[in-house]
């Protein structure tokens, strides 16, 4: 029985690893056309779906060939699409170049569509930072109150209410943020009711229940004998919390912050309601912008070809960034906490 249980556990752990690797490979294969087209410039390019002229050889290189063609057949209609009429020069080749009429020169150069993820990447990072700056102090305060200060008659129902807040669907937070919280924040700080600040604060509200509940459970693991020993030597409640409870529960508290960070990085529906969804850098925190999950949710249904590959490129960036941030935080902070 023990061997079967050990074998099943090994299969389950291997399955998670296989899913992780297959997801990474699938994202890379789907994003490969965009990676080959834009390369690393995709990370710093703020344009999304913008038509730009295709780079062509310089006019000095083309001029000798044009002069040679005009001198050899000045009035002819050539296979390359060059027409010379009484009113001037009219060049109409396969690349769509038109030059010449009575009023001057008209150029209609071919274009290509350019995609860049800088706006979405910056929006994702800053909205997550705002969320954590807002959520961490409040969540730690709630956890300490429920575990060390409040009476059991209060801590139990309040703790259940905090856990129920974590079960509310994210779209509910988004609608609340769009119609009530966003206008309220705009009335205090100015700017728009949908903005980077509103998105960060709504994200913070969403992750507070997770962070508070997990931190409370971590704090509750502190042995009573340690706290009683500290009180016995004259320590105050603040000193016991600072010097005994927090050091003992440090690993669990940091783990709760890391889990909340992962949710904030990937949150989509609530942020889509309140961040604005525009491909522009926010000049201030009260301006609208965009984030990677919101770009993916809003554009996947109508994308194809290179635009679809660009969305997979963004997905790959979000996957790698989330993995690196969480992996680094877990191994750096938790190892330092030991």
Res 48: pLDDT: 85
The mean per-residue pLDDT over the stretch 304-329 comes to 87
Intra-chain end-to-end CA distance of the chain, in Å: 35
Query: If pLDDT is split at 50, 70 and 90, which confidence band does 27 have?
Result: very high
Query: If pLDDT is split at 50, 70 and 90, which confidence band does 139 have?
Result: very high
Higher per-residue confidence, 80 vs 27: 27
Alpha-carbon distance of 239 to 245, in angstroms, equals 9
User: What's the whole-number average pLDDT of the chain?
Assistant: 81
How far from 151 is each of 147, 158, 224, 239, 246, CA to CA, in Å? 9, 11, 16, 20, 20
Query: If pLDDT is split at 50, 70 and 90, which confidence band does 3 have?
Result: confident
User: Which of 168-182, 203-217, 224-238, 321-335 is the least confident region?
Assistant: 321-335
Contact by Cβ (8 Å): 262, 241 = no
Alpha-carbon distance of 46 to 15, in angstroms, equals 38
Grouping H, G, I as helix, E, B as strand and the rest as coil, residue 78 is coil
Quick check: 98 pLDDT over 90? no
Instruction: Tell me the per-residue pLDDT of 56-69, one tens digit each, with 9 for 90 and over.
Output: 655 555 555 455 44
All structural domains of the chain = 118-335 (1.10.3720.10)
Quick check: 133 pLDDT over 90? yes
**Strand spans (E) along the chain:** 48-53, 82-85, 88-91, 111-115
Res 252: pLDDT: 85
Instruction: Tell me the per-residue pLDDT of 40-51, one tens digit each, with 9 for 90 and over.
Output: 888 888 888 888
User: Which of 65-69, 93-97, 169-173, 284-288 is the least confident region?
Assistant: 93-97
């Amino acid at each position: 029985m023990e061997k079967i249980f050990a074998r099943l556990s090994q299969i389950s752990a291997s399955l998670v690893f296989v899913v992780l690797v297959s997801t990474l490979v699938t994202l890379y294969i789907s994003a490969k056309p965009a990676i080959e087209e834009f390369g690393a410039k995709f990370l710093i390019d703020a344009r999304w779906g913008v038509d730009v002229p295709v780079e062509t050889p310089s006019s000095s290189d083309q001029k000798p060939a044009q002069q040679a063609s005009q001198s050899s057949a000045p009035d002819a209609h050539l296979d390359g699409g060059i027409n010379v009429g009484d009113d001037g020069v009219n060049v109409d080749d396969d690349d769509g170049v038109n030059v010449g009429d009575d009023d001057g020169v008209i150029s209609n150069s071919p274009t290509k569509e350019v995609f860049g993820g800088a706006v979405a990447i910056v929006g994702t990072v800053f909205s997550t930072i705002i969320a954590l700056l807002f959520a961490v102090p409040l969540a730690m305060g709630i956890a300490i109150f429920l575990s060390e200060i409040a009476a059991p008659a209060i801590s139990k129902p309040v703790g259940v209410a905090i856990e129920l807040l974590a079960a509310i669907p994210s779209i509910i937070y988004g609608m609340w943020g769009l119609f009530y919280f966003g206008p309220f924040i705009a009335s205090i700080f100015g700017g728009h009711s949908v903005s980077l600040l509103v998105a960060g604060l709504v994200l913070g509200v969403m992750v507070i229940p997770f962070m508070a509940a997990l931190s409370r459970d971590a704090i509750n693991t502190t042995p009573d004998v340690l706290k009683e020993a500290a009180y016995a030597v004259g320590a105050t409640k603040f000193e016991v919390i600072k010097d005994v409870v927090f050091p003992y529960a440090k690993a669990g508290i940091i783990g709760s912050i890391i889990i909340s960070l992962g949710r904030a990085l990937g949150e989509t529906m609530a942020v889509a309601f309140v961040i604005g969804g525009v491909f522009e850098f926010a000049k201030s925190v009260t301006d609208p912008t965009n984030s990677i999950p919101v770009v993916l949710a809003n554009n996947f249904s109508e994308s194809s070809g290179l635009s679809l590959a660009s969305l997979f490129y963004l997905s790959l960036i979000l996957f790698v960034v989330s993995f690196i941030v969480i992996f680094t935080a877990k191994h750096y902070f938790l190892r330092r906490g030991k």
